[in-house]
Amino acid sequence: MILTGHSTSAYLQELFCPYENKNISVNRPRVWCKRDAQDENCCTGFSFQQGVNVLEQGNIAVKDDGKSFTVSVKTLTQGDGVYWCGFMTEDKIIVKLAEDYFTDTPFNFAWSILRWILFILLPVITISTHIYTNKKHGDTKTT
């Protein structure tokens, strides 16, 4: 048997960056950066021109429809954290369009959803158990 090709699996995260109502020239460089943990007004990353579709050796893909651009991330080279997308002004100031927490491991993403489900289920199970226990003990009591 001869096999050709290969298969890969990646954990893809996306950040939607709308700009149609921001009065910003669409020709300005776009920005993708990680927020600084020490100074929430700063970030570390890079800028890129409109028309660039692949960044970081294929780990980041950019789609632009003229009203927004979407950054799709397979692997975070800077690690977990809050990432921004935006535009760079002529004065080298970043105009932030959106931000979100990105993680390099799918477990963290699954846990972020699972913990809310557990948060809701725990009180429901506790109350149900309490009601069931009281009902069962109430049936066996005689006066």
What's the token pair of residue 59? 């780990």
Q: How far apart are CA 15 and CA 54, in angstroms?
A: 15
Q: How far apart are CA 84 and CA 61, in angstroms?
A: 15
pTM of the model: 0.63
Class of domain 13-104: mainly beta
The pLDDT profile of the chain, 143 residues, written as one tens digit per residue, is 333 333 333 467 899 998 876 556 667 899 999 999 899 888 998 888 888 888 888 889 999 888 888 999 888 888 889 999 998 888 888 888 999 988 876 665 566 677 788 888 888 999 999 898 888 776 555 55
Angle made by CA atoms 117, 121, 124, in degrees to the nearest 5: 155
Measure Cα distances from 51 to 45, 65, 102 in Å.
18, 10, 24
Per-residue model confidence (pLDDT) at position 108: 58
Compute the chain's Rg from CA coordinates.
24
